[in-house]
Amino acid sequence: MKLKDKRIVVTGGAGFLGSFVTEALQARGANNIFVPLVEDYDLVERENVRHMYADFRPDVVIHLAAVVGGIGANREHPGEFYFKNMAMGLFLLEEARLHNIEKFVAIGTICAYPKFTPVPFKEENLWDGYPEETNAPYGLAKKMMLVQSQAYRQEYGFNSIFLLPVNLYGPRDNFNPASSHVIPALIKKCLDARDSGAAEIVVWGTGEASREFLYAADAAEGICLATERYDGAEPVNLGAGFEIKIKELVPLIARLTRYEGKIVWDHTKPDGQPRRMLDTSRAEQFFGFKAKTGFEEGLRNTIEWYEKERAKRASNI
């Protein structure tokens, strides 16, 4: 599929990952990219989805929009995260079928995997158990897009693919402590502590859980490659192919942010899923994707971006 010739809707295109996806599409010569804003099209409502498709008349839909957050946000809003993510996927796919959309690219989440999936996570393990409890409602709502995609392919011949990105990070990430994920939360915590001269920082859990992280620009490239080259029914992981324990991640971020205080672990708080790392061989085999950005390089880029943003905001006060 030559994307430069297509009308493309990117839901969530104004967000973190979405900004990188729209840039990657533009680099391919795609000029007809449409980003529905929530103020104009709340995609939780079916009528708004209908209006959005009628207004933009897309050939391709890349569905990135999500109501999402870290462990704390997932624990506080399980019902909201389930309903809104489920409704968006349900209505966007159904109306895409009714509007004869050429291709639908559904973006799932690593939270869809069972809590005790053997490492590295293989796509065939997706249905081997229940997800980790703190983010199961979100993960299951997203996983239903895989069920819907495969069912629509079987009954209607509808071309919908399903991608499973691992935890993302990078410049433009969400640094709001109420809803941020682990890397931006730790970067903000370390920088705030460094600048205030705090003697210690407190981090949730034991540090024994492991995570894999994919740089957002790499994830965007993977999504665009899949949109161009992959038309299969099977889900495909997008990852970087490594894992790091949180107890190793925190000192690394402290070093890169030049925070020299003590790290205190709050064992009363949950670790989340014990381990996360994807088998990424299917993405390389099916559409030639392999992550390029080294982890420390990506962290440096993210910290540098956030420090500049903080300085900008401070100068505007």
- Considering the domain boundaries, does residue 24 fall inside one? yes
Residue 179, pLDDT score: 79
The total of structural domains in the chain comes to 1
- Phi first, then psi, for residue 136 (nearest 5°) are -60, -45
- Give the pLDDT confidence of 105-158 residue by residue, as tens digits: 999 999 999 999 999 999 999 999 999 998 999 999 999 999 999 999 999 999
Q: Provide the strand spans (E) within the chain.
A: 7-11, 32-34, 60-63, 103-107, 160-165, 167-169, 200-204, 210-211, 213-215, 236-238, 244-245, 262-266
- Distance, in Å, from the CA atom of 68 to the CA atom of 80, rounded to the nearest integer, reads 10
Give the CATH number for residue 292. Answer: 3.40.50.720
Contact by Cβ (8 Å): 245, 105: no
Whole-angstrom distance, CA of residue 199 vs CA of residue 262: 6
Q: What is the pLDDT of residue 141?
A: 98
Residues labelled catalytic: 138
Residues of the chain with pLDDT under 70: 317
Does residue 316 fall inside a structural domain? no
**What pLDDT is recorded for position 317?**
65
Cα 12 from Cα 219, distance rounded (Å): 14
Whether 123 contacts 164, CB under 8 Å: yes
Q: Is residue 315 part of a domain?
A: no
Q: Is residue 317 part of a domain?
A: no
Distance, in Å, from the CA atom of 227 to the CA atom of 161, rounded to the nearest integer, reads 8
Q: Which domain holds residue 34?
A: 3-310
Nearest to 41 by CA among 82, 7, 9: 9
> Is residue 211 in some structural domain?
yes
